Amino acid sequence: MFCYQCQETSKNEGCTIQGVCGKTADVANLQDLLMFLCKGISHYTVRLRKLGIEIPQINKFITDSLFMTITNANFDKSRFITRILMAYEMRNAAEERLLSAGGSRAGITFDGAFWRGDTEEEMAEKAVETTILTTENEDIRSLRELTIYGLKGMAAYAEHAFNLGYEENGIYGFMQRALVDVTNDSLSAEELTGLVLETGKYGVQVMALLDKANTSSYGHPEITKVSLGVRNNPGILISGHDMKDMEELLKQTGGTGVDVYTHSEMLPANYYPAFKKYSHFVGNYGSSWWHQIEDFENFNGPILFTTNCIVPPRKNSTYGDRVYTTGASGFEGFKHIEDRKDGQPKDFSALVEHAKRCAPPTEMESGEIIGGFAHNQVIALADKVVDAVKTGAIRKFFVMGGCDGRLKGRNYYTEFAEKLPKDTVILTAGCAKYRYNKLPLGDINSIPRVLDAGQCNDSYSLVKIALALKEAFGFDDLNDLPIAYNIAWYEQKAVIVLLALLSLGVKNIHLGPTLPAFLSPNVVNVLVNNFGIAGITTVDEDMKALLNA
């Protein structure tokens, strides 16, 4: 195996024996093989699209497959084997359709468009040939992988939007074209850089689509106090990012005596008007994803993963039999809730029955946190915010969104938030917020100093807020605003967020806690020279630089 797609990659070089995330080598290899086949299928669908033909099942298949290979989403070998077998069927269907529509496969030379092996042994043997290291030039490899990781993030967001009935063929079309382009040996580094930037453009589009899907379905997030404590009923803890799962779980738990709590990236579900009406929706329990070992132990009841980030339980963990996965997520030993069929909701009754046999959650915290500062809410407060800037009450905004992770050095973000001068405001989205969202940072003229817009995909909200402020201040350029960017990344959704920000022209982003291992020195130079991207140094040094920028 060779995987360097996330921030925790071994030695900041690459995982080669087993993932730091817990992914085994055989699963990592099967994931590579699945990507290889998705590229192969895309060779046909790109041609089909030129003939005006879309195959919705294939759009869904490729999107789901990309999503399943995101860091910490799915560790279940059998699911990848099933997917690989499905990939052959999808590819056959695409090929037949192409030929019957008068198209031709002449000129397709990519092996993934033809290779087939039905046994686990054949798959394992072929998989090692499809490793990303087969691209020898490190700059080309870096640009190809940067594109693919952006596509994986894009796929996650497209999938959540799809679940709510929103999709755009243009997004699927781009994903598949890009999957073909990364197999094209004649593309130069310059052309691939263009592809990376185009990925960012579609990143903005997919985040806008998901924002539309979420807000049209559940209303605009609004300022909300979220309880951190517990009640005396059994509960279900829901993690991940999928709002449709959230809705169906809330509906199916109503009147059962079972409460619902959010974990990690599901916290922003508390901000949606449509969910706030459920009296058995208690609040948030625990912290960011990597604290799950402790949080799940204490929760006592069943846990539902709707997406990543899964941490394999420890040998002495006792909660393994209480964990359920659904959608793209999976883990051998956890029970999996099947997809919706024929427009029917998922069936979460097993979790409800399971919860009834469990003790209520053990209280770990009490009190509340405040959130719900997505674009609609902040723009409603725009006059107040603009006024605070004009009078000097707010000197600067710091976008500190992104992800949390296990690395010790991520204390940097807690310290940074603590040391920020009192006339600054943090704008956040994603699980990075858990590094500082429970600190007593106070407010400025009743505007909280930490404004949480929501999940990592709600970084789109931060952009909309920035655009509204740009207009309010009459600036021509986003970069003229008093906003600094100090972003933390972990997995591939953060990659698409970063590429989206770059495509919108945001400059001088500080990215930490380490720069991605998949960026070659030359690609880093391109990002530094064209976008002013920088890593992080010390809190004091970075703060000085960002305050004065």
- Using CB under 6 A as the criterion, which residues of the chain lie in contact with ligand SF4 when the complex forms? 3-6, 8-9, 15, 19-21, 23, 28, 71
Question: Among residues 252, 334, 276, which one has the least CA distance to residue 79?
Answer: 334
Q: Do residues 332 and 79 touch, judged by C-beta distance below 8 A?
A: no
CA angle 138, 131, 148 (to 5 degrees): 70
265 in a labelled binding site = yes
3 in a labelled binding site = yes
Q: What minimum distance in Å lies between the beta carbon of 369 and ligand FSO?
A: 16
Q: 3-class DSSP state for residue 312?
A: coil
38 in a labelled binding site = no
Burial call 77-115: b when 16+ CB within 10 Å, e when fewer: bebbbebbebbbebbebbbebbeeeebeeeebebebbeb
Q: What minimum distance in Å lies between the beta carbon of 516 and ligand SF4?
A: 10
Is 265 a binding residue for ligand FSO by CB under 6 A? The answer is: yes
**CA 177, 179, 180, 181 torsion-angle sign:** positive
Give the tokens for residue 311. 């941490």
Residue choice 150, 327, 430, 513 for contact with ligand FSO (CB under 6 A): 430
358 in a labelled binding site = no
Q: What minimum distance in Å lies between the beta carbon of 524 and ligand SF4?
A: 18
Tell me the C-alpha distance between 377 and 423, whole Å. 21
Q: Do residues 42 and 179 touch, judged by C-beta distance below 8 A?
A: yes
Tell me the C-alpha distance between 69 and 86, whole Å. 16
Is 266 a binding residue for ligand FSO by CB under 6 A? The answer is: no
Q: Do residues 361 and 303 touch, judged by C-beta distance below 8 A?
A: no
Cβ-proximal residues to 167 (8 Å cutoff; 6+ apart), any chain = 59, 158, 161, 209
Residue choice 5, 130, 264, 428 for contact with ligand FSO (CB under 6 A): 264
Comparison of 8 and 211: residue with beta carbon closer to ligand SF4? 8
Q: What minimum distance in Å lies between the beta carbon of 64 and ligand SF4?
A: 18
Comparison of 126 and 152: residue with beta carbon closer to ligand SF4? 152
Using N-to-C axis directions, what is the helix angle for 521-531 and 138-163, rounded to 10°? 70
Count residues contacting ligand FSO (CB under 6 A)? 14
Is 38 a binding residue for ligand FSO by CB under 6 A? The answer is: no
Comparison of 155 and 466: residue with beta carbon closer to ligand SF4? 155
Comparison of 258 and 427: residue with beta carbon closer to ligand FSO? 427
Comparison of 90 and 407: residue with beta carbon closer to ligand FSO? 407
Residue 309: which of ligand FSO, ligand SF4, none does it interact with, CB under 5 to 8 A by kind?
Answer: ligand FSO
Q: What minimum distance in Å lies between the beta carbon of 71 and ligand SF4?
A: 4
Comparison of 29 and 71: residue with beta carbon closer to ligand SF4? 71
Residue 265: which of ligand SF4, ligand FSO, none does it interact with, CB under 5 to 8 A by kind?
Answer: ligand FSO
Q: What minimum distance in Å lies between the beta carbon of 446 and ligand FSO?
A: 28
Tell me the C-alpha distance between 540 and 420, whole Å. 10
Q: Is 381 exposed, middle or buried (0-12, 13-18, 19+ CB in 10 A)?
A: middle
Tell me the C-alpha distance between 467 and 447, whole Å. 19
Tell me the C-alpha distance between 370 and 366, whole Å. 13
Binding string, residues 457-496; x marks residues near ligand FSO by CB under 6 A = ---------------------------------xx-xx--
Is 309 a binding residue for ligand FSO by CB under 6 A? The answer is: yes
Residue 20: which of ligand SF4, ligand FSO, none does it interact with, CB under 5 to 8 A by kind?
Answer: ligand SF4
Q: 3-class DSSP state for residue 136?
A: coil
Q: Which residues are annotated as a binding site for hybrid [4Fe-2O-2S] cluster?
A: 241, 265, 309, 403, 431, 456, 491, 493
Residues that bind ligand FSO (CB under 6 A): 264-265, 289, 308-309, 403, 430-431, 455-456, 490-491, 493-494
